[in-house]
């Protein structure tokens, strides 16, 4: 996949003082009081859900373990189970808010696999619609995102809270 719109994001890793620099991770130690500012949607025991600031598609979410590790094998069984449960909640919340036709769900392990934050494993949930790939990213080197992130954050956070409450019953 070729995504020229992510060049600014990838270039930011070169600055040693930038929080995206390798060795540091943008996913650890996000204080709860910054959840809204950093687009954290939900916190569970072992992992949290956050919106991707550089999305491949509208509503691109990530499930991230609190434990900073590059390896799936470093996570305990409870964390692995919670990742799947939270991914399920993400997909349901996206269905309720923006109604995609399907999803890509996966993980990039290691930089060569496409992991831009390869020191902290994280799982992507990317909503997809039939025909959502068009000429803009290919010819125009531009990705068009039609949703306002702040508005979508509010909608998704509400939907996730409702789903979590429903599952707790």
Active site residues: 122
- Helix 149-168 to helix 77-97 angle (10° resolution) is 120
- Cα–Cα distances in angstroms (integers) from residue 42 to residues 46, 61, 111, 138, 140, in the given order: 11, 11, 27, 34, 35
Beta strands 102-107 and 123-128 are antiparallel
At residue 31, the 3 state secondary structure works out as coil
Number of CB atoms found within 10 A of residue 94's CB: 24
Which residues contact residue 4 at a Cβ distance below 8 angstroms, ignoring those fewer than 6 apart? 137, 141
Are 62 and 39 in contact by the 8 Å Cβ rule? The answer is no
Picking from 19, 63, 15, the residue whose alpha carbon sits closest to that of residue 41 is 63
């Amino acid at each position: 996949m070729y995504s020229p719109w992510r060049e600014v994001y990838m270039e930011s890793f070169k600055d040693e003082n930038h929080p995206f620099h390798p060795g540091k991770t943008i996913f650890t130690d996000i204080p709860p009081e910054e959840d809204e500012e950093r687009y954290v949607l939900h916190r569970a025991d072992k992992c949290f859900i956050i919106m991707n600031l550089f999305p491949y598609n509208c509503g691109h979410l990530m499930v991230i373990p609190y434990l900073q590790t590059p390896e799936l094998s470093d996570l305990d069984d409870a964390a692995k189970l919670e990742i799947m449960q939270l991914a399920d909640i993400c997909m349901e919340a996206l269905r309720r808010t923006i109604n995609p036709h399907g999803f890509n769900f996966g993980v990039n392990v290691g930089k060569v696999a496409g992991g831009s934050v390869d020191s902290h494993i994280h799982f992507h949930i990317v909503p997809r619609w039939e025909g959502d790939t068009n000429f803009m990213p290919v010819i125009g080197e531009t990705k068009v995102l039609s949703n306002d992130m702040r508005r979508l954050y509010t909608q998704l956070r509400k939907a996730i809270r409702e789903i979590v409450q429903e599952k707790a019953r």
